[in-house]
Amino acid sequence: MYHNNSINNVIFLIDSCSKCNRDFFIFFFKYFHNTIMHGDKKHISLKLYEIGAIKFGSFVLKSGITSPYYIDLRLLRSYPLFLRTLSNYLFNKIRADHISYDVICGIPNTALPIATSISLDQNIPTIFKRDVIKEHGTKTLIEGLYKKDDKCLIIEDVVTSGNSIIDSVKILRKNGLIITDACFVIDREGDGIQNLTSNGIKAHYLLKISELMEILFENGKISPDIYQTFMKMDNYSGKTPTIPTKRLTFSERGETSKNGVTKRLCKIIDDKKSNLVFSADISDLDRLLKMVDLVGPHVCCVKTHVDIINRFSVDFINKLKALASQHNFLIMEDRKFADIGNILKLQYEGGMYKIVEWADIVTVHGLIGHWAIEALKKVSIGRERACLLVAEMSCQDNFLTNDYTKNVCNLVEASGDFVMGLVCQRKLLDNPSFLHFTPGVKLPQTLINGHENIKKYQDDLGQAYNTPDYVISQAMSDIIIVGRDIYESLDPLAAVTRLKQISYKAYTD
């Protein structure tokens, strides 16, 4: 039972117990949870990513090499519960691998809180090696109690070349300690393990960097581009970083498409320097039109849910169309069709909304397959229209699987010109004529625990958010869709301006 539960859940359970039960739980849990399983690796990887401990960009490492990613476990000290969880994983690894020790030694600085956490939880004494000898007092280089021939286990956060460990081990050995093992969180898959082995140190670790990246990719946290860049690296250790190729401009992408709506949208985006879609999810018709009039000059498209509008009328549509031509934006109806072809046709052309008559773009779920597109195409003959297929959703715990997303991508690629792209959370298609639209976007702000580096946050009904910069630069999407962060803002004009600037810059940079 405990193997399948996340450690956090168990810690919560433990914390809610009486003192006596608590001790029993800790013993029981630690006894059984002594191996690192795939679920644990996933938990660690996603949590490290969530707290911002895995960064993407261009980083010069201690060894002088440039790497397109950086692992910063110093942040762990800001997340004590997770620090403790991770330290527990490491301790279980130590047990599972039957490592013997008298003392443990964390390598300064990042591994010190990890070693301390293990020490406190397991009542294991620690020592620590100073970088420079203290000039006053005892003038010791190694702090903490130990005897000659004590066995010392090294604790480290990340290993690339293994040199930090080897340097410390030399001094510890000179002072009479025996060192045969080192335990660390991530193997960056450089030549660290080889170097440690040739220095008589056996390596034990929780995760390889390639496993971590694969988990992030499979869970939609990094785009195929970033993943491929990583996979192409020599030994994944950052020795030969591949510089991502420059993206085509939107105008260039428009030229690659045969769809008139894509061409128009791409031109608008470059003319207005805005790859921002405003999601006008406002029920009050007058407020909606006022807001669209205010933000219209700064967006490439306005997205509606007409079925939430009180007092919907043809007059409303006429006013919206007038604003669209005045401020030069397209209109998208986010209908998310999901019925059989025949019903979908009736819904698109008829009823009180007559969507085909005024919406340049309409959204449709991918689950119906190619008949949905046939039905929409049939209705829109003689008009310049396009649709977007929903391949991924921003809400948490949704049922769209990777296979589903892949099928939708295949459908788009096989569907010809009527489909202009995808609603998704990251770049999924290489063909530049298809555009990726990503909702679930919010400006960065001080969030949980006051830490700005948390990328993902949510509303109280499961909507999960990323920052615009993350969506365009890291997830490599093309266009952001933003609703509440604009229309609920105290200053919608400032919000829309900032959002468009950040997302257009992220694309063009």
| Least Å from the CB of residue 425 to ligand S5P | 8
Instruction: State how far the Cα of 320 lies from the Cα of 334, in Å rounded to an integer.
Output: 15
Active site residue ranges: 336
For ligand S5P, the nearest residue by Cβ is: 483
Span from 60-68, 320-328, 406-414, 482-490 in contact with ligand S5P (CB under 6 A): 482-490
Binding track over 397-436 against ligand S5P, x by CB under 6 A:
--------------------------x-------------
Give the residue, chosen from 85, 87, 116, 394, that forms a contact with ligand S5P under the rule CB under 6 A: 394
DSSP assignment, residue 441?
Answer: B
In the region spanning residues 448 to 467, those forming contacts with ligand S5P, defined by CB under 6 A, are 463
Through-space distance between the first and last CA atoms of the chain, rounded to whole angstroms: 49
Question: Taking CB under 6 A as the rule, does residue 483 contact ligand S5P?
Answer: yes
# binding residues, ligand S5P (CB under 6 A): 16
> Which pair of structure tokens corresponds to residue 213?
């990246």
Question: Taking CB under 6 A as the rule, does residue 192 contact ligand S5P?
Answer: no
Question: Taking CB under 6 A as the rule, does residue 492 contact ligand S5P?
Answer: no
Give the residue, chosen from 166, 268, 481, 499, that forms a contact with ligand S5P under the rule CB under 6 A: 481
Instruction: State how far the Cα of 59 lies from the Cα of 42, in Å rounded to an integer.
Output: 25
Question: Taking CB under 6 A as the rule, does residue 302 contact ligand S5P?
Answer: no
**Cβ-Cβ contacts under 8 Å for 381 (sequence gap 6 or more):** none
Instruction: State how far the Cα of 472 lies from the Cα of 426, in Å rounded to an integer.
Output: 8
| Least Å from the CB of residue 429 to ligand S5P | 17
Q: Taking the alpha carbons of 147, 149, 155, 158 in that order, is the dihedral positive or negative?
A: positive
| Least Å from the CB of residue 388 to ligand S5P | 8
| Least Å from the CB of residue 437 to ligand S5P | 8
Selection from 388, 373, 429, 438 nearest residue 406 by Cα: 429
What residues form DSSP beta bridges with 331? 302
Instruction: State how far the Cα of 125 lies from the Cα of 141, in Å rounded to an integer.
Output: 17
Question: Taking CB under 6 A as the rule, does residue 281 contact ligand S5P?
Answer: yes
Instruction: State how far the Cα of 393 lies from the Cα of 346, in Å rounded to an integer.
Output: 25
Instruction: State how far the Cα of 420 lies from the Cα of 261, in Å rounded to an integer.
Output: 8
**Cβ-Cβ contacts under 8 Å for 201 (sequence gap 6 or more):** 154, 162, 165, 166, 169, 179, 180, 181, 182
| Least Å from the CB of residue 230 to ligand S5P | 26
Question: Taking CB under 6 A as the rule, does residue 482 contact ligand S5P?
Answer: yes
Span from 13-21, 234-242, 250-258, 477-485 in contact with ligand S5P (CB under 6 A): 477-485
Instruction: State how far the Cα of 328 lies from the Cα of 200, in Å rounded to an integer.
Output: 69
Contact status, residue 292 vs residue 302, Cβ threshold 8 Å:
yes
Give the residue, chosen from 30, 484, 498, 505, that forms a contact with ligand S5P under the rule CB under 6 A: 484
Question: Taking CB under 6 A as the rule, does residue 440 contact ligand S5P?
Answer: yes
In the region spanning residues 324 to 383, those forming contacts with ligand S5P, defined by CB under 6 A, are 334, 363
Question: Taking CB under 6 A as the rule, does residue 439 contact ligand S5P?
Answer: yes
Span from 34-42, 256-264, 427-435, 483-491 in contact with ligand S5P (CB under 6 A): 483-491
Question: Taking CB under 6 A as the rule, does residue 477 contact ligand S5P?
Answer: no
Q: Give the total residue count for the chain.
A: 509
Instruction: State how far the Cα of 406 lies from the Cα of 34, in Å rounded to an integer.
Output: 36
Span from 3-11, 73-81, 84-92, 479-487 in contact with ligand S5P (CB under 6 A): 479-487
What residues form DSSP beta bridges with 320? none
Question: Taking CB under 6 A as the rule, does residue 393 contact ligand S5P?
Answer: yes
Instruction: State how far the Cα of 298 lies from the Cα of 433, in Å rounded to an integer.
Output: 23
**For residues 394 and 503, which CB has a smaller minimum distance to ligand S5P in the complex?**
394
Looking at this protein, which amino acid is placed at residue 75?
A: L
Residues that bind ligand S5P (CB under 6 A): 279, 281, 305, 334, 363, 393-394, 423, 439-440, 463, 481-485
